[in-house]
């Protein structure tokens, strides 16, 4: 495999929790703004900070070895709860480019894709292996081969992850839904021109 296949490479941060909902990812009091900025400080706010506003030393994002992490490893049903798009905004602004989990809430999954975050679905058995690896190694650097749907860790077998082909292609091309539509601009223009010719009553 060539380096050109690597979509992202980064440090893994293990968040060993099931059913993390969007209110835990970013609490409701931070939803007053629709500007896509400033949400990184609010990410996992209730877990990340103590009552006095100081960082919680027992929360994984505050561990020194995970500073600068861009790959979030977590458990099943990540992103459940309300459909707030602020959740992927906060993850993205913090620096997370990839979230690895056995399953995601549907709306959150689509919101991740629209914000160019790779939601990689991996079997629970392989998720357990990754968590065990995080416990035995101080830091894990993980590469994402999006084209071949593989997670790569040096010294380990490649880990396959599930992602729909159309979603994979959108991420590879850095396109949202509007961008996908714009790929068909020539065909749309031709259709509209032909449609005008078929409406002599106008």
Calculate the CA 182 to chain-centre distance: 24
Contact 68, 95 (CB under 8 A): yes
pLDDT digits 0-9 by tens, 3-52: 678 999 999 999 999 999 999 999 998 887 667 778 999 999 999 999 99
Instruction: Look at the block and give the residue holding tokens 């689509």.
Output: 110
pLDDT digits 0-9 by tens, 116-129: 999 999 999 999 99
pTM: 0.85
Can you give the residue ranges of every domain in the chain?
A: 3-163, 164-202
Instruction: Look at the block and give the residue holding tokens 């690896």.
Output: 133
How many CA atoms lie less than 13 Å away from 143 in the CB half-sphere? 17
Return the higher-pLDDT residue of 168 and 187.
168
Provide CATH code, domain 3-163: 3.20.19.10
């Amino acid at each position: 495999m060539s380096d050109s296949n690597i979509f992202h490479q980064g440090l893994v941060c293990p968040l060993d929790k099931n059913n993390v909902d969007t209110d835990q990812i970013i609490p409701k009091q931070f939803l007053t703004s629709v500007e896509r900025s400033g949400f990184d400080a609010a990410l996992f706010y209730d877990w990340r900070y103590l009552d006095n506003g100081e960082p919680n030393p027992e929360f994984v994002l505050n561990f020194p070895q995970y500073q600068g992490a861009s790959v979030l490893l977590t458990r099943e049903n990540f992103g459940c709860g309300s459909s707030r798009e602020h959740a992927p905004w906060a993850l993205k602004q913090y620096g997370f480019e990839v979230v690895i989990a056995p399953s995601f809430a549907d709306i959150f999954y689509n919101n991740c894709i629209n914000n160019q975050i790779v939601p990689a679905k991996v079997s629970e058995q392989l998720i357990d292996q990754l968590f065990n690896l995080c416990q035995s190694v101080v830091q894990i650097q993980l590469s994402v081969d999006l084209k071949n749907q593989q997670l790569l860790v040096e010294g380990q077998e490649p880990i396959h992850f599930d992602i729909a082909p159309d979603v994979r292609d959108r991420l590879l091309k850095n396109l949202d839904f509007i961008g996908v539509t714009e790929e068909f601009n020539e065909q749309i223009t031709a259709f509209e021109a032909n449609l005008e010719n078929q409406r002599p009553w106008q």
